[in-house]
């Protein structure tokens, strides 16, 4: 059907106007998001309604040494992968997240047998053969699916802090740094994510700075590695007043 030129022009203007409005609303849905939360995991009914487990069995348990006693959150299933749980508050882009964590021994060991992390295992070695026990956990920084996430993980075996990216092509270590870490000791891991920047702090000290351009947003949460037994407490996240990381707080 043919329309007069004036009607065609009006339709074009209306369509353009709605496209602009839709784009602005899309932008506001992200930029207006302001969140400031603290989870002490005191009782399960205070956190289970706001968190969603992707894999593993996540529960509250007692630990009188916790930063906010008496309860912490931990993952109990033996899982040869990355047990994950995320805060079900939508995707986040520019934010600061922090958690207290303690990697537990399996028996009376004081420190894991030195060796490679599961992230650095040689192709001819199976992780469960090379190291039947894992000692790693941390923050899930940008989660979009089982094969699309970025994470910050502390490994007590290698005494390193890693930034990892998982894609359908596999796992890639984006950056790593040596850190002081012992079993059965509480530490604080903090991450600042701004645009494509990721800066990690270990007990208040900046240790890792890198860029990740493939996944610049996603859900945030916690994860462990394989059979690791990790306690988490005092999970904090805020999206207000997040700015570019200044040089005086930058990591190597």
Instruction: Find the range with the poorest average confidence among 26-30, 113-117, 127-131, 225-229.
Output: 26-30
Contacts of 201 (CB under 8 A, 6+ apart): 188, 189, 190, 191, 192, 207, 251
Quote the CA–CA distance of 134 and 127 in Å, as a whole number.
9
Q: Which residues contact 195 (CB under 8 A, 6 or more apart)?
A: 93, 94, 216, 244
Decide if pLDDT at 71 tops 80.
Answer: yes
Instruction: Reply yes or no on whether the pLDDT at 77 is more than 50.
Output: yes
DSSP secondary structure letters along 188-252: EEEEEEETTEEEEEETTEEEEEEE--S---BEEEEEE-TT--EEEEEEEEE-TT--PPPGGG---
217 versus 45: the higher-pLDDT residue is 217
**pLDDT value of residue 103:** 97
CB 52 within 8 A of CB 88: yes
Give pLDDT tens digits for 151-183.
999 999 999 999 999 999 888 999 999 999 999
């Amino acid at each position: 059907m043919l329309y007069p030129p004036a009607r065609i022009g009006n339709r074009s203007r209306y369509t353009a106007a709605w496209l602009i409005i839709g784009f602005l609303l899309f932008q506001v849905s992200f930029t207006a998001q302001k969140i400031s939360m603290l989870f002490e995991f005191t009782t399960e009914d205070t956190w289970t309604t706001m968190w969603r487990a992707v894999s593993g069995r996540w529960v509250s348990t007692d630990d009188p040494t916790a930063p906010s006693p008496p309860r912490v959150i931990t993952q109990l299933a033996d899982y040869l992968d990355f047990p994950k749980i995320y805060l079900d508050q939508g995707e986040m882009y520019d934010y600061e997240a922090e958690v207290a964590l303690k990697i537990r021994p399996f028996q009376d060991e004081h420190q894991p047998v030195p060796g490679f992390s599961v992230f650095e295992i040689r192709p001819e070695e199976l992780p469960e053969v090379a190291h039947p026990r894992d000692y790693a956990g941390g923050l899930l920084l940008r989660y979009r699916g089982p094969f699309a996430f970025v994470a910050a993980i502390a490994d007590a075996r290698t005494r390193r802090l890693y930034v990892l990216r998982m894609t359908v092509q596999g796992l890639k270590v984006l950056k790593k740094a040596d850190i002081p870490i012992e079993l059965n000791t509480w530490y604080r891991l903090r991450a600042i994510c701004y645009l494509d920047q990721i800066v990690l702090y270990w007990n208040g000290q900046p240790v890792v700075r890198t860029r990740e351009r493939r996944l610049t947003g996603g859900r945030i949460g916690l994860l462990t590695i394989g059979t690791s037994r990790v306690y988490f407490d005092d999970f904090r996240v805020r999206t207000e007043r997040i700015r570019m990381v200044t040089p005086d707080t930058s990591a190597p």
